[in-house]
Structure 1
Amino acid sequence: MLKRCQFRKYYMIVFVLFDELLRRVEHEVTQSTCVIQHTGTPSIHYVESVSLEICNIMTRLGYGEEIRRWRIEKYCENDRHLNARPRIIKLQTAGSKAEGLTCLFESDRDFLYTLKGVICVETGINLNTIPDDISVFGIDDTGVYPGHCKLLLKRPAARLHNTIIKAALCKIGYGEFLLSSVLFIDECSRMLRLTIQHSLGPVESVLHERAGPALPQTVGGILKVDKVYSIRCQCPSILHRWAVRPRHWPQSVVVQKVVSLGAYVTPTGFKESKNKHIEWRICFNFGETELMNNLNDTQAKVYVLLKWILKDIIKPTNKEITSYVVKNIILWQAENIPQTEFNSRSLLHWLHDGLRELRSAIEKKLLKYYMIPERNLMEACGLEDALKRKWIKDITEMIEMGPNVILRLEKIRRAIIASPEPMLWFSKTRIELEMLYLEYFNRALKCKRENGEQDVPDFMLYAIRKRQEEIELEVGRRMRMEGCSINEIHKIIYRMLI
């Protein structure tokens, strides 16, 4: 009897937990105001109306401000649980998941793994301020492409236990050592494979071919993760040059936070360098995440739309252009233009502005890296002239289409075609499912950490799972009403969360 009462209590908590957020998400969505179909030259009023409508549609699709902030909070909580146990590596979620801008299975989850007990520093940093149990490498940026460096051993730790660092050290004469990026990532890959092979858990993991500094992995056949191993980096001069730039955005308090988050080096050299096997790239992953999380709702949606255009229309096959290029276009746009200019009625204006910047970057093969402008993100991108001309032509046509360019995006087109009631039901169901899954992951990790056992009963987990089953039944019922097959309902639920 007591267990049944406890279950009811936690089941009600699950409802209360998600109901308020769902109401706020629904409140964000106003009634549709126009049909996106126009001939001739669109008026300013029409373009603004379409912009407002697209903002509303994107909120229904799960890209509104409320759900975005909730995702950020939940992935941060997940990281805290994962790092609760002592380990030689600290892991943190990066990329679109940390920015709250993708649904659960919509894209890979990026992890930055940072080695503890090792750091690299700029010239001029007093090594006496760094504890003796930390190995210190010096940054050498002579003769390398901007934003890259070599790492020279300045002071080994009193006792060097890190096998990854040991395996990657190379003697260069005169008793000096440098850290090879290729040997470093080879050792990380070897250790990861061993971990997967010796894993006794029920979830299958598959490690894929290396992609730049990332080690892609599929967990349980559906969850795709990119693991990037890194070393903490102190480079105050680079961050100072960024911080003192004249700008409209972000506010000074955010600038200071970005500076405090520091930098990292990842094991990848400049593509055309003869010494790329010993070069490292300087990155500002969490500073950039902080910047992206300070974009307003319209700016975030412009970023998502540009990524969709890149993926669905431009379709680069060999990463000649990546979403990281689009991210830097958005960051420059935000820095150079007053924040008040970005609102729901100006979304299409800034989308077209972003397309023009993307076209310019392709045409000139030039886009300055937001944190280190001396580094050209389009350098050595492998873009051939024929493909370059095609993409310039495609983007020009998209710009000339005006507001109708939005109809080329499948997600937007489907949302416009869908009837209002089914669309609203799908939106609420999809968002609730994602919330349930993320809450379940965090609760399971917390229980495992606190109890030390995976199978300790937890009524909140039972309540969440029961609600998931109810939603699956509701999805199946709706599909039967539409005359659809409901075989493999779990695959259908997975597709809802892409």
Structure 2
Amino acid sequence: MSYHGHCRLLLERRGTTIDSKVNNAFCDDGYGREILSSDLFVNNDVWNFINPEGMVRHERAGPSMPETIQGALHTDKVHALRYYCPNILSKWATRPRHWPPPEAVQKVLSLGAFLTPVGFKGSEYQHVEWRVCFNTGEIELVNNLNEIQIKLYVLLKMVKNDVLNPRKKEVTSYTLKNIVLWIAENNHQSLFHERSLLHWLHEGLDALRFALVTRELPYYMIPDRNLMAACELEEAQQRTWISTISEMMNEGPRMILRLSKIRQALIGHPEPFRWYNTRRMGLELLHLIEMNRLVVCTDENWVCDETDVILQALDRRKKEIVREVRLRMIMEGSRVSSSTGVNVRMLM
């Protein structure tokens, strides 16, 4: 029995032709049956037949074979097999969800799965196990994330690189992508908007902290597979990261100052940031005051007295702020929509 999300490939019968790279990877399973070895497949000399000048091949990393060409172009090649697994995909497709939309679910189903040549770390069958992957399906899923979910993914990767800085891939971008996919699936899409980004960053950090505490994170496509299993997370590192993430969450919005690129932007260009932030806050306050004033100026027939001096003054000041922001955008070469568009964006 293989670990969840992995399998072994026993040869049922030989076809009329068989690719040499596959044929060279067969071995005996100890019971007189032929089994396809992931180790033999990925280490097959046939892959090295083409060796352009200036190419340097590096040590195998999981299922991939890293290469550097001319000292500049770095690639990771993964040779995989197509895999037919309707049961796994249908189980994923039929679970209750807020996301992705039905058409995206059908697209993922149509893209199918792959087997990559890497076994579960620590398994006695590691050398003959293959990992089930949904590379093309996951690309489709990421393409269906909305802007806030993408920004959440980017911020979590910044946390990984700037704050956690893992040395042994204890936490990877793939870990964080799965956290974002789970968050997207389990929450109504209307909750993801510009002003909720920090809330979702807090939720993402909480999910990451929980994964570190429990050493468990279900794989989005196959929940029985634990992405934190065999991640080689040491106890001291675990405690440090849990403490660091907890501190970040307690800092509230200031947590983003721990992220170097954002901090540099704020420090390197503080004046434009403060200038815009002041006007945005002013516009928001004027909008709130106007809403309250509209209630006062509206009679029992829902007719508003638009001649009210205060309403007119509020409207003039709002237009002045929007005009000022729009003019600066034009002067700095930004893409500018109408004044109405600028007003809407500032209040989002």
TM-score class normalised by the smaller sequence? 0.7 to 0.9
SS of aligned partner of 2:43 = helix
Matching residue of 1:89: none
| Alignment partner, residue 49 of structure 2 | 194
Q: Report the alpha carbon displacement of residue 403 of structure 1 after superposing the two structures with TM.
A: 1.1
**Alignment correspondent of 2:26:** 169
- Among 29, 44, 56, the residue aligned to 1:206: 56
CA distance 1:159–1:356, change in 2 (3 Å):
same
What is the Cα-based RMSD across aligned positions, in Å? 1.9
**Which whole-Å CA distance do the structure 1 matches of 2:238 and 2:118 have between them?**
25
Q: Is 1:149 aligned with 2:7?
A: yes
| Cα distance in 2 between the residues matched to 1:146 and 1:155 | 26
Aligned twin of 1:263: 113
Give the drift of 1:308.
Answer: 1.3
Match of 1:111 in 2: none
**Residues 1:411 and 2:265 are matched in the alignment:** no
Q: CA deviation at 1:174?
A: 6.9
Cα shift at 1:282: 0.4
Alpha-carbon deviations, 1:16-71, whole Å to 9, x = none? xxxxxxxxxxxxxxxxxxxxxxxxxxxxxxxxxxxxxxxxxxxxxxxxxxxxxxxx
CA distance in 2, matches of 1:264, 1:150: 13
**Structure 1 gaps, min length 5:** 1-142, 424-498
TM-fit CA distance, 1:417: 2.6
- Match in the other structure for 1:371: 221
Shift of 1:421: 11
Shift of 1:144: 1.1
- One of 288, 296, 303 as aligned partner of 2:138: 288
| Mapped partners of 2:74, 2:255: distance in 1 | 30
Structure 2 counterparts to residues 341-360 of structure 1, below 5 A? 341-360=191-210
> Counterpart in 1 of 2:288?
none
**Is 1:178 matched up with 2:35?**
yes
What do residues 386-415 of structure 1 show as CA deviations (whole Å, max 9, x unaligned)?
Answer: 111111001011111111111111111222
* CA deviation vs aligned residue, 1:312-371 (integer Å, no higher than 9, x gap): 210111111111110110000000001111111111110110000000000000111110
Superposed counterparts of 1:132-143, under 5 Å:
143=1
Could you tell me how far 1:229 is from its partner in structure 2?
Answer: 1.0
What is the CA distance between 1:175 and its match in structure 2? 6.0
Instruction: Kindly state the Cα deviation for residue 222 of structure 1 after the two structures are TM-superposed.
Output: 2.5
Q: Which amino acid aligns with 1:223?
A: L
Q: Per the alignment, in what secondary structure is the counterpart of residue 231 of structure 2?
A: coil
Letter in 1 for 2:36: L
State the one-letter code of the partner of 1:150. Answer: R
Q: Structure 1 length as normaliser, TM-score?
A: 0.53
1:228 aligns with 2:86: no
Cα distance in 2 between the residues matched to 1:405 and 1:321: 19
Task: Give the 3-state SS of the residue equivalent to 1:154 in structure 2.
Answer: coil
* Greater alpha carbon shift after TM alignment, 355-364 vs 313-322: 313-322
In the alignment, the residues of structure 1 paired with residue 204 and residue 24 of structure 2 have an alpha-carbon distance, to the nearest angstrom, of: 44
Q: 1:249 to 1:158 in 2, by over 3 A?
A: same
Q: What's the TM-score, normalizing by structure 2? A: 0.75
CA distance in 2, matches of 1:173, 1:278: 12
Alignment of 1:422-461 (within 5 A): none
Return the offset for 1:224.
1.9
Query: Does structure 1 residue 381 correspond to structure 2 residue 217?
Result: no
Q: Distance in 2 between matches of 1:173 and 1:390?
A: 45
Residue 226 of structure 2 aligns to a residue whose secondary structure is coil
Alpha-carbon offset, residue 171 of structure 1: 3.0
Taking every aligned residue pair, what percent have the same amino acid on both sides?
Answer: 53
Q: What is the CA–CA distance in structure 2 between the aligned matches of 1:346 and 1:255, rounded to whole Å?
A: 26
Query: 2: CA distance between counterparts of 1:417 and 1:173?
Result: 64
Q: Report SS of the residue matched to 1:383.
A: coil
Distance (whole Å) between structure 2 residues aligned to residue 336 and residue 174 of structure 1: 45
Alpha-carbon spacing, 1:410–1:223, altered in 2? closer, same or farther (3 Å): farther
Q: Partners of 2:269 and 2:223 in 1: how far apart? A: 47
**Which one has more relative contact order, counting CA pairs under 8 Å at least 6 apart?**
1
Question: What SS is found at the alignment partner of 1:369?
Answer: coil
- Tell me the distance in 2 between the aligned counterparts of 1:316 and 1:261: 32
Residue in structure 2 matched with residue 127 of structure 1 by the alignment: none
Q: Per-residue displacement from partner, 1:254-310 (whole Å, max 9, x unpaired)?
A: 001001000000111111211100111101011011000100111001101101111
Instruction: For 1:147 and 1:178, locate their aligned partners in 2 and report how far apart those are by CA, in whole Å.
Output: 18
Q: 1:192 to 1:174 in 2, by over 3 A?
A: closer
Q: What corresponds to 1:300 in structure 2? A: 150
Instruction: Count residues with an aligned counterpart.
Output: 273
Which deviates the most, 224-233 or 326-335?
Answer: 224-233
- Per the alignment, residue 392 of structure 1 pairs with 242
Alignment partners' CA distance in 2, 1:386 and 1:219: 38
Larger radius of gyration: 2
Match status 1:316 vs 2:166: yes
The CA deviation at 1:209 is 1.1
**1:303–1:246 Cα change, 3 Å:** same
Match of 1:276 among 126, 147, 151: 126
